């Protein structure tokens, strides 16, 4: 962050103890924690507090857990908050942490069962493999950690949203949800036969929970 000074000019720091932290003169603070068992590191996390001149505190928290998924992938969880430190402070909704975008941009999103975590749409191919993916999404079997936003088609390569709008939606939801796009209206009828008519169709956008 352009205004961050906690790494460049800390006023107070302790990086050797169990409560490792860095603090700057402006009140910015970075706390680090590790969790291990029998000499094996299981998780590491941080909390970054960044005060601003409007009486607010911007807080970002992250935890990385080692090898928690079925294929031993690491799992990272992030939370952001805007906290009032002064009476009457105007609160805003924090934007997605840049850390998530960096992870996805560098190809570290990993696999969420059948879908890769990214900030790009998943364009389902119009074949048997694509039908299998759509069926798994509809039945809640495609993912383990993230929900799916499913965009059904109104015709061959036609949707209620433009391609640019779909790509923007996937970019905004990157790391938060998968955006899956079916190829055609005829594709919906093939999926319907395998899902007892539980699938969306006709241009509908639906969110499938995990």
Please report, in tens digits, the pLDDT of each residue of the chain (210 residues total): 778 888 887 788 888 877 899 999 989 999 999 988 888 888 999 999 999 999 999 999 999 988 765 567 888 899 999 999 999 999 999 988 888 888 999 988 999 999 999 999 999 999 999 999 999 999 999 998 899 999 999 999 999 999 999 999 999 999 999 999 999 999 999 999 999 999 999 999 999 987
Nearest to 63 by CA among 75, 49, 72: 75
Nearest to 144 by CA among 90, 41, 73: 73
User: Angle at CA 141, nearest 5°, toward 196 and 112?
Assistant: 150
Contacts of 1-9 with C-beta under 8 Å, sequence gap 24+, read 1/50, 3/50, 4/28, 4/50, 6/30, 6/48
């Amino acid at each position: 962050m352009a205004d961050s000074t906690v790494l460049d000019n800390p006023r107070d720091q302790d990086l050797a103890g169990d409560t490792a932290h860095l603090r700057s003169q402006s009140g910015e603070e970075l706390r680090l924690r590790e969790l291990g068992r029998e000499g094996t590191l299981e998780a590491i996390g941080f909390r970054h507090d960044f005060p601003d001149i409007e009486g607010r505190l911007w807080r970002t928290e992250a935890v990385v857990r080692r090898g928690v998924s079925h294929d031993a992938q690491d799992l990272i969880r992030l939370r952001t908050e805007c906290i009032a430190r002064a009476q009457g402070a105007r609160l805003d909704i924090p934007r997605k942490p840049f850390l998530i975008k960096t992870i996805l941009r560098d190809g570290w999103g990993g696999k969420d069962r059948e879908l890769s975590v990214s900030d790009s749409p998943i364009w389902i191919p119009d074949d048997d493999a694509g039908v299998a993916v759509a069926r798994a999404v509809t039945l809640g079997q495609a993912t383990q950690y993230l929900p799916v936003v499913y965009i059904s088609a109104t015709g061959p390569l036609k949707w209620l949203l433009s391609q640019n709008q779909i790509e923007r939606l996937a970019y905004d939801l990157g790391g938060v949800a998968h955006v899956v796009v079916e190829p055609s209206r005829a594709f919906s009828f093939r999926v319907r036969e395998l899902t007892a008519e539980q699938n969306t169709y006709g241009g509908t956008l639906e969110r499938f929970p995990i």
